[in-house]
Structure 1
Amino acid sequence: MTIEQFYDKGLAHASYAILSEGRMALVDPARDPQPYYDFAREHQAEIVAVFETHPHADFVSSHLEIARTTGATIYVSQLLGADYEHTAFDNGDEVKLGKVTLQAINTPGHSPDSVTILLLDENGKQHAAFTGDSLFVGDVGRPDLREKVGNLQAKREELARQMYETTNNVFKQLNNDVLVYPAHGAGSLCGKSLSSDTFSTIGRELETNYALQDMSESDFIKTLLEDQPFIPKYFGHDVLLNKAGAGNFAESIQAVPRLSPDSALETGVLIVDTRPQAQYKKGHLPNSINLQEGGKFETWLGSIVGPDELFYLIAENEQVLNSVIRKAAKIGYEQNIKGALLTPPVLPASSHTTDIDAFRSDPDAYTIVDIRNTGEVKAGSMFENALAIPLPELRERKNEIPQDKPIMVHCAGGYRSAAGQSILEGDFKTAVYDLSDAITTFAIRTH
């Protein structure tokens, strides 16, 4: 038996291949199926099963593409109401894979249709649990993503109550040496305090995971619901897309229109400019947002841009352009790209250059906009009287910002503030500045 973890750092997403006797099963595969095909070929294995622990909110799965390509059976909970051909996989159901057995355990809480896959070895002993978004290393899945989307919808309090039952009646009952293989690690927005470790054991989680400690149901619900991170705009869209099954990855990418740099772009359509902020500030197109290519590009794209919104995509070279198109496809946004192009020759707009010394000497002369997440602001602020508007809400709430003074935008390190400045400067008459990475030289004031 072999278990292989595939980890996507950008989305902090873990998927798995389970191999026994030349037969291979996949759990929660990413949008690009090629790594799984390569692994199967390397091990001369046949992909016979694809398991979805639930309809994912934060990435698009390739389960349907893999099934169509290989003939593998898709296994999901019947509660999911999947639109594609599948086999129901719920409490007590088992799938034989070579010498091992994969057993279904319904584990609602993150979603009503979540399933954990318990791997039994050739002797029937509990070996590993593929927990999806139900149990993470150091956390459990947030319960507030299925209030308005999916085949089954549930209020956050109801799902938190279900998670309490799941932790006590399922996870605490597994053997201590059972390996825990979750679908996410630190950086995922599917929980609030995930560890950077990508696997664990039940015994370790019983000792260190706050959600597996003994507490009353009411205390558990209160603890689980508080301080959850923001919900990106694309999450509900991806739940529905995964319920239906996405189109083939390579074909979807190839369908993105490629434009020449001097193409005339349609007025009023948003432009996502992925160039480094120094280049963007020197010159860019109006109605553009500077969302730099980086480790979390896809998350911020889906947090700032709505799932029904078309946009142009600009990059500094072909390598970056190909990369950001692929990342957009990972969250199902490739169909939103009206055109992808390299840097246009004429860039009529530019950004104001920040005088750090002038700001440092008199910060009260500026309206300071803190675009960090709510939890970050709650933990401490850099400036008194700063107006806090999280970046994912900035486009919708920019009218709350007074324009009687110059505006200074800041985040925690500079990546988000570059996007924030670009969102505001096109519409504001007053000057908009970006504190950028100079923010790291200011002390946090705890509340």
Structure 2
Amino acid sequence: MDIHQFYDEGLSHASYAVRNEDQIALIDPARDPRQYLDFAEHHGAKITAIIETHPHADFVSSHLELHQTIGATLYTSALVGAEYPYQPFDEGDRIAMGNVQLEALNTPGHSPDSICILLIDPQNKPHSVFTGDTLFVGDVGRPDLRERVGNITEKAAALARQLYRSTREKLMRLPADVLVYPAHGPGSLCGKNMGDNRHSTIGIEISSNYALQPMDEDEFVALIMEQQPFIPRYFEYDVMLNKKGAPAYQASIDAILTLNDLSLRDRDVLVVDGRPQTMFQSGHLPGAINVPDGLRFETWLGSIVDPGEAFYLMAEDAQQLQALIAKIAKIGYDQQAVGKAVITGGPVQAASFDERHFAKNPQNYTIVDIRNSDEVAAQPIFSGSIPIPLPELRAHAAALPTDKTIVVHCAGGYRSAIGASIVAAALPHATVVDFGAHIHEFKPVS
């Protein structure tokens, strides 16, 4: 018996292959199915089962494509109301894989239709549990993502109460040595306090996970509901796409048109420029938004571009373009990319930030703080700044005053590159500068 974890750093997503004898069960696979097919081929085994713990909000799964390609049976809770062919997998149901079994545990809370999967060893003892987004290392799943989407919707507070019971009545009753394999690690927006380790044990979580400490249900609900991170725009879209089943990965990305002549593009379609900030500032297309290629590229793209909104994707070379295409496909945005191109410059140059002038004359600037509201509350940096969280900036940028130079800042420089390009695109006649990493030189206001 072998458990293999596949981990995507960009989305902090963990998927799993449980291999026993010549059979493999996949749990919560990512969009690109190739890695799982290669794994099966390498081990001379056959993928016979694909299990979805719930319709994921933060990434698109390849479950339907794998089923269509290799004929493996799809399993998920009947509560999902899945639109693809599946075998219901709910409380007490088991899948036999030689001398081991996989058992379903209904664990609503993160979503009404969440399940965990218990691996039963050859001695008929619990060996490990694949917890999806119900239990993480050091955290539990957020309960506020299914208020408006899915086969079953539920208010966040009600889901938090279900999560309390799922953790106490199901997971915490497992033996302490049972291994915990969650669907996400630190950096994921599906929780708020995840630890650095990618797996754990029930005993460790009971002793150290803040959400599993002794408390009553009301205390738990209040604790879980507070200070949850923002919800990217694409989350609801991905829930529905996963409920339906995404189109085949390679065919979908191959269908994105290559633009050989940028002058022929539709000027009403958004341009997303994934080049580094300095390259974008030195020359870009009018109205383009700069989302520099980086660890969280797909998350920020899906936070500022609406599901269904058409866009062109630009990169500095063919290699980067290929990488960015793979990233947008992870969240299903390949479906709305209407063109792709390598770009080396453009007619529009961005104004540069003069740190010395700003330090001496801050009154000559309109300062826009695009950090999240909890960041601003915890550590204000400039008095009189205009707080607009980055995910909300496109909706409000055009209303900013233009009588002064607009300077956009975040906490470190990555988000401000995106934010400054959004404001400049909304206000083409204004002077807009990016604070960038210079923000580290300024102390918070007391």
TM-aligned CA deviation for residue 426 of structure 1 = 2.6
**Paired residues of 1:367 and 1:402 also in contact (CA < 8 A):** yes
Residue matched to 2:225: 225
**Paired residues of 1:92 and 1:105 also in contact (CA < 8 A):** yes
1:341 equivalent to 2:341? Answer: yes
Residue deviations 1:362-419, cap 9 Å, x none?
A: 3232121111122222321221222111111100122453333221101111111011
Residue matched to 1:280: 280
Give distance in 1, aligned partners of 2:189 and 2:375.
14
Q: Which moved more, 1:50-59 or 1:350-359?
A: 350-359
Q: Which moved more, 1:251-260 or 1:393-402?
A: 393-402
Residue matched to 1:434: 434
TM-aligned CA deviation for residue 32 of structure 1 = 0.5
Residue matched to 1:191: 191
Give distance in 2, aligned partners of 1:378 and 1:194.
22
Residue matched to 1:102: 102
Residue matched to 2:154: 154
CA RMSD of aligned residues (A): 1.2
1:389 equivalent to 2:393? Answer: no
Give distance in 2, aligned partners of 1:43 and 1:37.
10
Letter in 1 for 2:82: A
Residue matched to 2:59: 59
Give distance in 2, aligned partners of 1:389 and 1:217.
34
User: CA 1:440–1:335 in structure 2 vs 1: closer, same or farther (change >3 Å)?
Assistant: same
1:178 equivalent to 2:178? Answer: yes
Give distance in 2, aligned partners of 1:363 and 1:125.
66
Residue matched to 1:350: 349
Residue matched to 1:140: 140
Q: Which moved more, 1:400-409 or 1:203-212?
A: 400-409
Secondary structure of 1:166's aligned partner: helix
Give distance in 2, aligned partners of 1:283 and 1:29.
39
Give distance in 1, aligned partners of 2:99 and 2:445.
58
How do residues 237-252 of structure 1 correspond to structure 2 at under 5 angstroms? 237-252=237-252
User: CA 1:98–1:442 in structure 2 vs 1: closer, same or farther (change >3 Å)?
Assistant: farther
Letter in 2 for 1:406: T
**TM-score of the aligned structures, taking structure 2 as reference length:** 0.98
Give distance in 1, aligned partners of 2:275 and 2:195.
31
Give distance in 2, aligned partners of 1:276 and 1:311.
19
Task: Give unmatched runs, 5+ long, in structure 1.
Answer: none
Secondary structure of 1:313's aligned partner: strand
Residue matched to 2:369: 370
**Paired residues of 1:261 and 1:344 also in contact (CA < 8 A):** no
**Paired residues of 1:269 and 1:287 also in contact (CA < 8 A):** no
Give distance in 2, aligned partners of 1:263 and 1:384.
44
Letter in 2 for 1:245: G
Letter in 1 for 2:61: S
Give distance in 2, aligned partners of 1:430 and 1:272.
20
Residue deviations 1:84-122, cap 9 Å, x none?
A: 110000001011112111000000000000000001100
Task: Give unmatched runs, 5+ long, in structure 2.
Answer: none
**Paired residues of 1:271 and 1:314 also in contact (CA < 8 A):** yes
Q: Which moved more, 1:219-228 or 1:429-438?
A: 429-438
Give distance in 2, aligned partners of 1:61 and 1:427.
34
Residue matched to 1:425: 424
**Paired residues of 2:316 and 2:344 also in contact (CA < 8 A):** no
Q: Which moved more, 1:258-267 or 1:367-376?
A: 258-267
Letter in 1 for 2:366: T
**Paired residues of 2:289 and 2:425 also in contact (CA < 8 A):** no
Alignment coverage as a number of residue pairs: 445
- The percentage of aligned residue pairs carrying the same residue is 53
Secondary structure of 2:50's aligned partner: strand
Residue deviations 1:170-193, cap 9 Å, x none?
A: 121111111110000011011111
TM-aligned CA deviation for residue 344 of structure 1 = 5.9
1:293 equivalent to 2:293? Answer: yes
Residue matched to 1:304: 304
Secondary structure of 1:91's aligned partner: coil
